[in-house]
Amino acid sequence: MKIAQSQDDIEAVQRLRFDVFFNEYQAQAYTDSHADGLDRDMFDEHCAHLMVVDNSQDGRVVATTRLLLSARKPADVPYIAASEFSIPLLGEKTGNYMEVGRSCVHKDYRDGNAIQLLWRGITKFVFAYDIDFLFGCASFHETDADKIATELSYLYHRHLGEGKTLARALEHMPMDRVPADQIDDKSAMASLPPLIKAYLQLGGVVGDGVALDDQFNTLDIMMTVEIAKVPQTYVKFFKKQADRLEMTP
């Protein structure tokens, strides 16, 4: 695990993102910057980029995520999720926030280990920067909400935020598609994408409504974790795991 430092590191991250989002999941290339096989945008220069590398494959980058910290974000740079969701939390302008985005794992490394390393890295940032709220969009690789009706309804009925953690999709599509008493919680949880499961493990809550990202062919939901409300047993566990992680600059 390392933090991207050089331009070569950044391009390796962008190349992996392009491979996963554009080659594998058939996202639509929408700027000239994608013509060279790199997924890059205006936010990259303002984010910290975590990289999971396979040292047995000459340091190949196999997983990545990027972190936008409120303490480092220029005032004129918006939060990424704000293009899809209204986020009451951000209106308070108090506390330290960290937005997680562009998370992906190479298809040959999706056994759970790489995503765990990413979350240990995220946890190190949470403690290092005294983060109060962790949030970000999480995606289903699907464009038909009816095909994931049970999963969306489970999130809505069991994990909906409230107050300042209740974001709302700007182009709102309802998540409440299956009655609460018809949902098998265990089955629904098992079928969720790994990133969403990770948020829920930390006590994360979901915003109201799902957003269609027709650029990336995904349905996006908003996840928020209030660090002060994470159960102490999880705080101790994740901090211990993070402390064990050697993350090179």
3-state secondary structure the chain: CEECCCHHHHHHHHHHHHHHHHHHCCCCCCCHHHCCCCCCCCCHHHCEEEEEEEHHHCCEEEEEEEEEECCCCCCCCCCHHHHCEECHHHHCCCCCEEEEEEEEECHHHCCCHHHHHHHHHHHHHHHHCCCCEEEEEEEECCCCHHHHHHHHHHHHHHHECCHHHCCEECCCECCCCCCHHHCCHHHHHHCCCHHHHHHHHCCCEECECEEEECCCCEEEEEEEEEHHHCCHHHHHHHHHHHHHCCCEC
Q: pLDDT at position 20, please? A: 95
Reported as a single tens digit per residue, the pLDDT across 15-31 is 999 999 999 998 886 66
What is the chain's mean pLDDT, rounded?
93
**Lowest-confidence range among 152-156, 236-240, 245-249?**
245-249
What confidence score (pLDDT) does residue 162 get?
96
Give me the mean pLDDT over the 30-59 stretch: 89
Of the pLDDT bands very low, low, confident and very high (cuts 50, 70, 90), residue 36 is: confident
Kindly list the domain boundaries of the chain, sorted by start residue. Answer: 65-244
- Is a pLDDT exceeding 70 seen at residue 131? yes
- Is residue 247 predicted with pLDDT exceeding 80? no
pLDDT score recorded for residue 33: 66
pLDDT confidence of residue 133 = 96
pLDDT in the model for residue 233: 84
Mean pLDDT of 128-135: 95
What CA–CA distance (Å, rounded) separates 36 from 18? 10
Q: Count other C-beta atoms under 10 Å from residue 3's C-beta.
A: 16
The pLDDT of residue 94 is 81
pLDDT at 240 over 90: no
Q: Which of 6-10, 30-34, 213-217 has the highest mean pLDDT?
A: 6-10
- Expressed in angstroms, the distance from the first to the final Cα of the chain is 9
The pLDDT assigned to 186 comes to 97
204 pLDDT higher than 90: yes
- Per-residue pLDDT band for 61 (boundaries 50, 70, 90) equals very high
Are 60 and 35 a contacting pair, CB within 8 Å?
A: no
